[in-house]
């Protein structure tokens, strides 16, 4: 795998150029997902997506090796998982695609926040199957912690805690899961995985 840049500028190993910020500002509030690929100096390579609300695909013919992929996460009011309107961290699919295509970084933009996952200085540190197994294990640990907080906060046993899928159907369950920490669930999973693979996760308010 390729190596990350040794010198970080503004805390990141790539240039957040004016063109990158303009793209992110333009798509941050969109209801459809759009993506753009930039090189390490912040030069635009291409824009993609805008077809469906929760998916964007960059053609395999586009070389993203050592590039920065940035895209928006349309807000979702279910209050659970990576599409929370305030904390839409890069998803499992975002991470796996970055590893598979050896991108330098993946950025996810919401109306309020920019998340960046940056490849480690020695590469991603594993294969996609390695990441898939690690993601499943980290998700189980994070889910377990959320369920324990839910049980303690609302005076019930862990066996009585609803399934996570209920949060999409029941607003009260969604609010309770948020109170137990579900809004940062994907962030917590990424943080857990970063200790194994050496990638870096940053979260910054989006400048208006």
Segment-wise mean pLDDT, segments of 10 residues, the chain, 208 residues: 43 90 93 92 90 66 94 66 57 93 94 92 96 97 95 96 86 88 88 96 83
Token digits for 14? 């790539």
Length of the chain as a residue count: 208
pLDDT at 2: 39
Burial 13-24 (b: 16+ CB within 10 A, else e): bbbbbeebbebb
pLDDT of residue 79: 43
Two structure tokens written together for 41: 């100096």
Both structure tokens of 128: 């996609």
Q: What pLDDT, on a 0 to 100 scale, did the predictor assign at position 208?
A: 60
pLDDT at residue number 59: 87
Could you tell me if 35 and 58 are in contact, meaning their C-beta atoms sit under 8 angstroms apart?
yes
**Residue 34 CB contacts under 8 Å (≥ 6 apart), including other chains:** 27, 47, 48, 49, 50, 56, 71, 72
The pLDDT value recorded for residue 6 is: 40
pTM for the structure as a whole: 0.85
Indicate if the alpha-carbon torsion angle 181, 183, 189, 192 is positive or negative: negative
Please state, in angstroms and as integers, the Cα–Cα distance from residue 111 to each residue in 73, 150, 202, following that order: 9, 28, 16
């Amino acid at each position: 795998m390729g190596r990350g840049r040794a010198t970080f500028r503004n805390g990141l190993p790539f240039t957040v150029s004016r063109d990158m910020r303009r793209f992110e500002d333009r798509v941050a509030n969109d209801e459809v997902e759009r993506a753009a690929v930039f090189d390490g100096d912040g030069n635009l390579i291409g824009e993609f997506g805008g077809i469906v609300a929760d998916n964007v695909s960059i053609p395999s013919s586009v070389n993203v090796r050592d590039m920065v992929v940035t895209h928006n996460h349309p807000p979702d009011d279910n209050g659970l998982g990576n599409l929370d309107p305030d904390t839409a961290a890069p998803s499992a699919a975002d991470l796996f695609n970055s590893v598979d295509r050896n991108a330098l970084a993946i950025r996810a933009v919401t109306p309020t926040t920019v998340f960046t996952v940056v490849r480690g200085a020695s590469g991603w540190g594993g294969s996609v199957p390695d990441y898939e197994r690690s993601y499943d294990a980290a998700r189980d640990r994070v889910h377990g912690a959320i369920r324990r907080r839910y049980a303690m906060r609302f005076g019930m046993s862990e066996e009585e805690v609803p399934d996570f899928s209920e949060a999409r159907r029941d607003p009260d369950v969604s609010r309770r899961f948020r109170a137990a920490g579900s809004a940062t669930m994907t962030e917590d999973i990424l943080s857990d995985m970063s200790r194994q693979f050496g990638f870096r996760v940053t979260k910054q308010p989006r400048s208006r």
